[in-house]
Each structure stands twice: as structure tokens, then as C-alpha cells.
Amino acid sequence: MLRMLPTLLLLLVWLPVQAEPPLTIERIFASPDLSGPSLRQAQLSPAGDRVTFLRARDDDRDLLDLWEYHIGDDQTRRLIAADQVLADEGELSLQEQARRERARIAGLRGIVEYRWSGDGRFLLFPLGGNIYLTDLVSEPPEVRQVTDGEDFDTDPGISPDGTRIAFIRDHDLWVAALDNDNGQARALTRDGDGLITNGVAEFIAQEEMGRDTGYWWSPDGTRIAFLRVDNSPVQLTRRFEIRADEIEIIEQRYPFTGTPNVSYRLGVVEVESGEIDWIDLGEEPDIYIPRVAWLPDGKRLSFQRQSRDQKRLELVIADLASETTRVVLTETADTWINLHDDLRFIDGMDAFLWSSERDGYRHLYLYRSDGELIRRLTTGNWAVDAVKGIDLELGLVYFTAAEASPREKHLYRQSLVTESPDAVTRLTRRSGWHQVRMDSSARVYVNTFSSTVQPPQLSLHSADGERLAWLVENRIDADHPYHPFRTAHQPTEFGEIIGPNGIPLHYRLIRPAGFEEGRRYPVFFHVYGGPTHRLVTNSWSRRVLIDQYIAGKGYVVFSLDNRGIVRQGKAFQDEAYLKLGRIEVIDQMIGLDFLRGLDFVDPDRIGVFGWSYGGYLALMLMMQHPGAFAAGVAVAPVTDWRLYDTHYTERYLGKPQDQPEAYDFGNVITHADQLSDSLLLIHGMADDNVLFTHSTLLMQKLQDEIIDFELMTYPGEKHAISGASARVHVYRAITGFLHRHLKEPSP
């Protein structure tokens, strides 16, 4: 046996070693999802007995089913399989396609949203243009169709008393009884015709104001408040959706900045009689109505009234019996006011919770219903993100905030009777990003947690933070889809660069796989820069997988959050006012100088990439600083802010009639003749958010200036370029282009 040992060793040397598979773009977008179970819309039932969520199929990452975790049984199961209810969803209506695009769920199928009834018995969901109801009392849960018609029914909502549903059909508000088995329903409004819509969230509400509905049930379920929106003042324009084999001309009311907006009427309809009372919205017609909410007594209705310039926001309470309105709170700013969803009317106290950025950071305040301030609840050089729940019995409010860092999100607690607003209790401890939803009594919550090394996990917690159960642990064990790539996963480094006036600018950096000291590497410089979104967060998203792929190809991956972005205080964000395309460029160039100073970065091989606002910023960097980058990719970029919508653009730039210099400087076309770096321009040819016109204008300008560039367009694709094959193709185009221009120089 001892004589055989050398032979065995020799054989072992020549046996092939099982190599780890390389991470590819194709695998990133294939099924099963490398991030593990795809979890969406986790909610606690009103009864507090179960948690529901949407989960994608292992073999089809875009097909969602409805799942539940039953707390008493400690069991997780699939409640409803979408294709067992409806085998083929069919073609979505144009309105539904647009709504899903604005909700960033355009590539998903199956059950993409659902609603609970107030008593926790029913679940409601739209599918294939009709509305379905699940009765959880039956076992197994019974699913039945509530509406049945040729029209496309959307936005279903169950009345608080659990007896009726409301929904939108053909631009009108409809209602049906939950015990209705024959699909009969009746219209509460009848003048909806496209120009007039009732109960529908208008384009601006969905895209820019964070409001996805246009109607609200009263607490007792006898009345519905709704917005009647008149779109006729909005400019009629033609949008071309260019597909592979046809061009569809769509006439659309699009509110270009500086042009007229919709006009509103706010009504309250009696469900039984259909009688409508209209509420006085004030003398100024050119306003926004971003939020509407009932007071607990059901006798009063609140609405928020925002001025056209967004420098004034009023909370108005209407007394329905006396037909009077009163402004109970007013917020003003020299720049703009950010909207929020933190208004909470507190039953039994005749008081409400409110958040404000008046002292420079978003914090919580408690008011009487007449607008008198009771007390401040939080303070400090950090920002509250959102209120998550109120425990009336114990007098506690729960909220998420950036108190630990703008790069992380955590859950906190504060007393409603606190005398120390600077002392809050942090409940989540793991470093990363905690997305929280609480039950109605704020006694338990579900937490969707992720970090740059942990894909999303779903867990159930008591209000003090103790974990009660894993719903989806999503641990990267041997059976996890990402396990084969785990050992090659490169860590993300976070840090700060001192910017103008000593302001810290947060960055993230990933070193390339196989990093060697003394070697210089190319850089994938990923930018966004827009006021509403941060890139530098300790969280998991598909971006993490793309970054890991690029790092695996030998690149340094880098991002910086410039001034103008949320979660670092209002003063930090206000730097962007009237300076879009200017302030971001200054800060990103500071990031570029930082990179050039690193001994492992090749300063001649830095490529910049951005999508949407990031595409705009990538273009502005390349054009205002020609020669600074070896190459750049801009996907779906804004090029001329005059072609973007009122609410977003005027918030930061005012009206073009009033601020022509800000619009001219912020226009990519103004600087396009300076482009000298290699550019790949990408755009979906049916984009209804950043219109394809933005890119065609740039194409024309570069051609007029005889400046070379590369172009990739996607017929039929919208802003997200979400088609299954298109997703793979676009990232192969992006990474392939940058690799060609950033590869090792010849000796």
C-alpha cells in the first residue's frame, strides 16, 4: 500500500478541480433569482394573525404569487398561485401599462398588488382586468371573481366595514358589494371620459407625488372622498412608441414644465344614494392636491394643498356638516417643500402627528387638530424617513430614520409625551437597510432587511425589536442560488470625502477580484446624483449583482452621493436649487480627483455610467470636463429639462419662463459641442417618462457638430428597458462598450 501512494498522489494532481462558475449578465437576469426569493409588499393582517407577501417563482422570477406566514401555526405557505386563478392575463390596458411603468413593476406578471379588508378576513387583488377576492375564513381559502366585464378594472379598495369594494373602471369610480356573486357593480360617477377622471391618480400624482390612488373610503364605509381631475388644460402632445414592426402615435396630455396642469375638484359621494358634495379647495386654481385623508370621526376630511411653485404646503381640514374649511398648518420654504406620508390623526386625542424639515432635518411634531403645537418629538442632525406606527395604548410612535448614517435605515421609537426629543430608542441593530411595516396597533412588525453582503430577508418582530420568527431567512447556504458565487463576492468599502465647505460626501468602492498591490485598475464610475435617490447605501439590489460582475472583470466600482440628495438634511439638498447640472458635476469631479489619487487606480481608464438622471449626469460630466473620462454610457437621459414634467422640474428649477438661465445651463445640448470622450447613448423607443425625444435632440446636435458617438435603441421598450431579453442585452451593451474602451493599453 505504501508503494502505491506516489501513484495516487500523481493521479490526484491531474484530477480536474471543480471551478466556481463565473458570474455572467445572463445568469444575473435568469431564474431562479440570484438574490433568493423575491419578496414584495410584505404586510401584517389587520387582525395581526398572519403576514402576507408577494413572492416570485423559482423558475420564473417575474411571475408573482401571494404567500402567507401564519403566526399561530408558524407555517409559511402559498395562498394563491396567479396562474391557477387566471392562466393567461392577456394584454394589459394602456392605462395599466402606464401605471405599472410608473410604479416600476412593468416587467412583472401575476399578482402584482393586493389589499386587506379592515377586519382581516378578505384579501383583494386585480388580475387580468378583473378583481378577485380571497376569503380567509374558508379552508382552503376561497378565491372568487368579484367583477366581470370587458373594461379593465383597477385600484380596488375594500370599505372599512368589509361590505363593499370600490374600483376604477373606464375613468370612473365604481362600487360593488363583497357578497356579490354575479359581477354586478354600479357607477358612483358617470362623467369620466379620459379628459375627466374620477378617483384616478393623475400622471403627476403617480410619477412625482407618491400618490397612487384618487379615492378614499370614510372610516364607517358609507362615503368615499375622491378627486375629479380635469386634464383638458394640459397640453396635448403626440408621443411615438416605436416598435420593431410599427410606430404607434399616442396622443397624450403631458404637463411639460411651465405649461398648464390639471385642475381638481374634491368630492364626497354617499355610497347608497350617489349624492356628491363638493369641498372648497380655495381661490387659487393652479395648485396640487398631493394627499387626502379622513379624520377618525368620519365627519371631517383633510387635504394638503401645495402651491404651484412648491414653496408652500397647507394642511386643510373640511367640516362636512358645516361645509367649512380651515387651514390648520402651513409649511413654507425659500426653495421647495418635500412631500411626506407622515400625517397620522390620533383617535381619541383629537390630535395629529406631522413631520417637517423646518429646522433643516425632517423631524416629528405633535399637534392638536386645530393646528396648535403640543410638542416636538424628535430633534438632531439626522433625518426621519417615515412614520411606521403609533401605539395609542402605550403612547409610542415608531419611525425609520437616518440617525445612524445616511447609508443605513433603522427603526426607532419615541414617546408621544417625551420631554427629551433628542433621545430616541433604536430598535434595529444589524448594520444595513431595514424596511419596516407595522400592524395597526404597532405591537409587531415585519422587517425586510438587506445589506451589501445579505440579500433581502423577511422576519417578524415584536415592537421592542425581538425577532419572533423568520418568514424568509434567505441565508446564503449551499442550496441558495448565489452560493456558487459567494466566495468571489467582493466587499463594499464605504467612506467620506470632504466636499465644499467641509460637507461630507459619502462614497462606496469595490476593489476588483484578484486585487494586487502595485497594480493599477480601470474604474466603473456609476453615477445617479438626482435629488430623490441615493446610490451609496448598505443595501442589496440587482445593482449589487451588476457591480459584482463588473468587479469580477477586473474593475474598481465607485459611486458618490453629491449635494442635492435626500437623507443628509434639507440644507444639503437645497444646494441643488436652480443648479441642476452644476452642483452635481462639481461634487462628482471631487470624487474623480479622489479616485485619481488612489495608487491602485489608472487615471486614464475611468469610465462613467448612469441611467435616467444618472444618464443626464454622465453626459454633463463628459461635456463640462472633456477628456476627464476615457468613455461614458448614458441610458435614457434627460437632455432638456423643458421637456420634463411640471412637478419634478419646477421643484428644482422653477418655471422656464422665470429661470431661463438655469434651464439653459442645465441643458445637455448647451454643452454637447464640448464632448470629446467616447459615448454610448441608449434609450427605449417607447419611453413615456423620459421621452425618446431627449435622445434624438442630442443625436441631432452631435451630428451637427460632427462628433462621433455610438447608439443603442430598444424598440417597444420604456424607461426601465424591462423586457426579459432586453435586460440582458442592455447590460451586455453597457459593459461591452466600457471594456472595449477601458481595457489594458497596448505595451
pLDDT digits (tens, 9 = 90+) for 639-651: 999 999 999 999 9
CA dihedral angle for residue 249, residue 254, residue 259, residue 264, rounded to 10 degrees: 140
Give the residues across from 40 on adjacent strands. Answer: 54
Measure CA of the first residue to CA of the last residue in the chain; give whole Å.
54
DSSP annotation of 260 reads: -
Note the pLDDT tens digit of each residue in 596-649. 999 999 999 999 999 999 999 999 999 999 999 999 999 999 999 999 999 999
User: Domains in the chain: how many in total?
Assistant: 2
pLDDT band of residue 377 (cuts 50, 70, 90) is very high
Q: The domain that contains 274 carries what CATH number?
A: 2.140.10.30
Burial group, residue 356, by CB count within 10 angstroms (0-12, 13-18, 19+): buried
d(CA 399, CA 397): 7
363 in a domain, yes or no? no
Q: Give me the half-sphere count of Cα atoms (radius 13 Å) on the Cβ side of residue 743.
A: 8
497 in a domain, yes or no? yes
7 pLDDT higher than 60:
no
Question: Do the Cβ atoms of 48 and 70 come closer than 8 Å?
Answer: no
52 in a domain, yes or no? no
Burial group, residue 88, by CB count within 10 angstroms (0-12, 13-18, 19+): exposed
Question: Do the Cβ atoms of 164 and 221 come closer than 8 Å?
Answer: yes
Note the pLDDT tens digit of each residue in 302-358. 999 999 999 999 999 999 999 999 999 999 999 999 999 999 999 888 999 999 999
d(CA 413, CA 144): 41
In the three-class reduction of DSSP (H, G, I as helix; E, B as strand; rest coil), residue 204 is classed as: helix
Q: Which residue out of 153, 172, 342, 687 is catalytically annotated?
A: 687
Cα Rg of the chain, angstroms: 27
pLDDT band of residue 13 (cuts 50, 70, 90) is very low
135 in a domain, yes or no? no
Q: The domain that contains 580 carries what CATH number?
A: 3.40.50.1820
Residue 227: domain span: 190-339
Phi, psi torsion values for 116, nearest 5 degrees = -90, 150
708 in a domain, yes or no? yes
653 pLDDT higher than 60:
yes
Sort strands 384-391 and 373-376 into parallel, antiparallel or unpaired: unpaired
pLDDT band of residue 49 (cuts 50, 70, 90) is confident
d(CA 559, CA 458): 28
Please state, as a whole number, how many other Cβ atoms lie within 10 Å of the Cβ of residue 716: 16
| % the chain with pLDDT above 70 | 95
The predicted structure's pLDDT at residue 747: 37
Phi, psi torsion values for 144, nearest 5 degrees = -140, 155
Note the pLDDT tens digit of each residue in 413-438. 999 999 999 999 999 999 999 999 99
595 in a domain, yes or no? yes
Q: Which residue out of 647, 683, 694, 719 is catalytically annotated?
A: 719
CB neighbour list of residue 75: distance below 8 Å, 6 or more residues apart:
69
Active site residue 612: yes
CA-based diameter of the chain, in Å? 104
The predicted structure's pLDDT at residue 300: 97
Active site residue 687: yes
| % the chain with pLDDT above 90 | 79
Domain end position, chosen among 314, 339, 364: 339
Q: Which residue out of 612, 678, 695, 722 is catalytically annotated?
A: 612
The predicted structure's pLDDT at residue 19: 63
Question: Do the Cβ atoms of 305 and 353 come closer than 8 Å?
Answer: no
Domain end position, chosen among 283, 307, 339: 339
Phi, psi torsion values for 269, nearest 5 degrees = -110, 135
Domain end position, chosen among 300, 320, 339: 339
Q: Give me the half-sphere count of Cα atoms (radius 13 Å) on the Cβ side of residue 447.
A: 30
pLDDT band of residue 400 (cuts 50, 70, 90) is very high
29 in a domain, yes or no? no
208 in a domain, yes or no? yes
The predicted structure's pLDDT at residue 453: 97
Q: Which of 561, 531, 564 has its CA nearest to residue 648?
A: 531
pTM exceeding the 0.85 threshold for the entire prediction: yes
233 pLDDT higher than 90:
yes
Residue type at 665 in one-letter notation = F
Note the pLDDT tens digit of each residue in 676-732. 999 999 999 999 889 999 999 999 999 999 999 999 999 999 999 988 899 999 999
Q: What is the H or E stretch that residue 614 is in? A: helix 613-624
| Grid coordinates of 359 | 429646522
